[in-house]
Structure 1
Amino acid sequence: MGDADQQEYGMSKNLYLRNGIFWARFKVGGVEYRESLRTRSEKVAERRLKIRREEVEDKALFKIAGPTSWQSAVVSWNENVSFGSERTFNRYVSSLIQLRAWLDDKNVHEITPEMVRDIIKARRRGGVKNATIRRDMTALSSVLNHCADEGWIGENPIESINLRRVAAEKFVPIVLPTEASIAIMSRRITSRMWDMFEFTRETGLRLEETTTLRHTSIDRAGRTITIKGKGSKVRTLPLTAKAVTIIDRQPRYIGKPLVFWRGEGEPIKDVSTRTTRYMVTAARWAAQRNMEFEPFSHHGMRHLFAVEYLRDRRGSIYDLQGEMGHGSISTTERYLAFLTPEQAKAAKSSVAQKPAREQRFASDDA
């Protein structure tokens, strides 16, 4: 590009356009540098040019440290940035650990909007939830803001990304398993896996919480189990008489801790995949007999637990939130849609209906 072109765009002689992207061109110590500034904005390009040229001059002429590494930036951020709470700091650190694979070998000026978008895409492909990705980006942005304050980068690259497009997670519609489908499925699946399904219907446990349940987590005298659930949150749940019966009929594997196991006391894996196969078999069996069958997952039994909990008036919506391990009451409130207005009103009460609760938890001998 000639001087006429530069004059037309009103650009510095050290900037030029290539395919609509601004590039830098300058000499330091007799060496010419040409590199992309990764922006279409002239104002942004000017700032990046200044920073980049100063970096090169510092390194070449004054023999001082060059670009700041990501790892050094995180150390400085940790030492100099004030956080609202220890909880916030721990959440940020957790996110930064997840991002190490992309950033540990980078200098901070190499972290571009394009790189950030690639990280977001990779996290999505890995099955990471949108809410978690947004938390990751918030932590990354905090470090990059510190870098901008220190003058290591011209601007925070995340500011050019619309994180609102990392849409809020949408709840998957709740579909309750029907009793007819449950009856069919119970005859087409292994007894131990079906015990896991029924146990979740009695306790509301997540699949991972069920497959990792240990005998040491069971308090038989108090008839409770203690669970370390999502986010390492610990909660203690009551056991119904039926739940105790299910536990009692599981054979113990000597020297192994799990309640539900396979092989030589090993965890039961690939439950979702195996469940799908059983569902296909059950659906084929029902179709041959002109019977109605609606496939469901293990998680469907957790939904069923929640609705039956409220219908049976075992406790309020707030009690249920605690038993399910929900972080937000709005997640638990979805189950109100399956209740009558009277039942929903009772569920919103903070007082459990003790007669129904006592009947539900009565021993088998009562």
Structure 2
Amino acid sequence: MSTNARNLKNIFKPTNSKFYWLRIKINGVLHRESLRTTSQSVAAKKAKGRITELRGLAEAGELDWTFSTGLLKFYEVLDQESSGWGAQTRKRYRTSLRQILRVIEEICEDLGHDVRTVMAAEIKVATVSEFVSRRRSDGVTISTINRDLTAFGQLMTAMRNDGWIEENPVKHFEKQ
């Protein structure tokens, strides 16, 4: 099968979108993302480049740097008494992390993404802002949102310290 034919197999156009999308499974993980083009030939070229990039990340072990993997890793650290945080702080952070994952998962679903494939580096200030907006819409108090943001900030700091992201988007979010 030619490379071009393979790329056409990996692109599709959802009924509710004008853009072509990439869909490929690498190491058992389905990656689906918009190619942001209405041209099939441009989509095929973009798909080829993105597939090469994703395979390179997989070979380097960087494809595991997903947001959900980082959240799970941080959650597991909080189970350990030797984490450096007190029992109440660890309990509060775990509660916040469950809410963070739930809301980020909703945001991803609304955008047509699977939260398991969202890279840690894709969490931006706009994502944090949307998180806060959705928590407010749920009727959550400002105090609880601030506690969630503290846990979110610690989570993203852990990812930054592990070299997964360049900057912590929670630190750049300006509370109002």
User: Which residue number corresponds to residue 142 of structure 1?
Assistant: 154
Q: Aligned runs of 1:172-211 on 2, under 5 Å? A: none
Three-state SS of the structure 2 residue aligned to 1:63 is helix
Residue aligned with 2:59, SS:
coil
Q: Does 1:99 align with 2:100?
A: yes
Find the counterpart in structure 1 of residue 72 from structure 2: 75
Contact 2:66-2:120 within 8 A present in 1 as well: yes
Contact 2:65 2:164 in 1 (8 A): yes
**1:109 aligned onto 2:121:** yes
* Compared CA separation, residues 91 and 61, structure 1 to 2 (3 A): closer
Structure 2 counterpart SS, 1:155:
coil
Residue identity (%): 25
Instruction: Write the letter of the residue equivalent to 1:99.
Output: I
> C-alpha displacement at 1:101, in angstroms?
2.3
Which position in structure 2 is the counterpart of 1:60? Answer: 56
Distance 1:100 1:159 in 2: 18
Distance in 1, matches of 2:146 and 2:57, equals 41
Task: Show CA shifts across 1:152-171 (max 9, x none).
Answer: 111100111123x2xxxxxx
Pair 1:133 & 2:133 matched:
no
For residues 311-330 of structure 1, the aligned pairs below 5 Å read none
Give the direction of change, closer, same or farther, for the CA distance of 1:78–1:98 in structure 2 (3 Å limit): closer
Q: Which runs of 4+ in 1 moved over 4 A?
A: none
Q: Supply the AA of the counterpart residue of 1:72.
A: T
Q: Quick one: which amino acid aligns to residue 76 of structure 1? A: K
Q: Name the SS of the counterpart of 2:102 in structure 1.
A: helix
Compared with structure 1, are the counterparts of its residues 122 and 61 closer, same or farther at alpha carbon in structure 2 (3 Å cutoff)?
Answer: closer
In the alignment, the residues of structure 1 paired with residue 174 and residue 147 of structure 2 have an alpha-carbon distance, to the nearest angstrom, of 14
8 A Cα contact 2:71 2:155, kept in partner: yes
Tell me if structure 1 keeps the 8 A contact 2:75–2:97. Answer: no
C-alpha spacing 1:90/1:159, structure 2 compared with 1 (3 Å): same
2:174, 2:129 → 1: CA distance? 10
CA contact (8 A) 2:103 2:134 kept: no
CA offset at residue 96 of structure 1? 1.1
- Partner AA of 1:63 in structure 2: E
Q: Once superposed, what is the RMSD of the aligned Cα atoms? A: 2.3
CA–CA distance in 2 between the matches of 1:123 and 1:61? 33
| Aligned equivalent of 1:314 | none
Q: Which residue of 2 aligns with 1:120?
A: 132
Greater Rg, structure 1 or structure 2?
1
Structure 1 stretches lacking a partner, 5+ long? 1-30, 34-55, 166-366
The 1-side partners of 2:84 and 2:170 are apart by 20
Letter of the 2:160 partner, please give it: A
Letter in 1 for 2:163: G
Amino acid at match of 1:100: L
Q: How does 1:31-46 map to 2 (within 5 A)?
A: none
Distance in 2 (CA, whole Å) between partners of 1:70 and 1:102 is 13
1:68 partner letter? W
8 Å contact from structure 2 (residues 153, 168) kept in 1: yes
Counterpart amino acid of 2:59? Answer: K
Question: Which amino acid letter does the alignment assign opposite residue 140 of structure 1?
Answer: F
CA distance in 2, matches of 1:60, 1:134: 38
Alpha-carbon distance in 1 for matches of 2:137, 2:89: 26
Write the distance in 1 (CA, Å) between the matches of 2:125 and 2:57.
Answer: 30
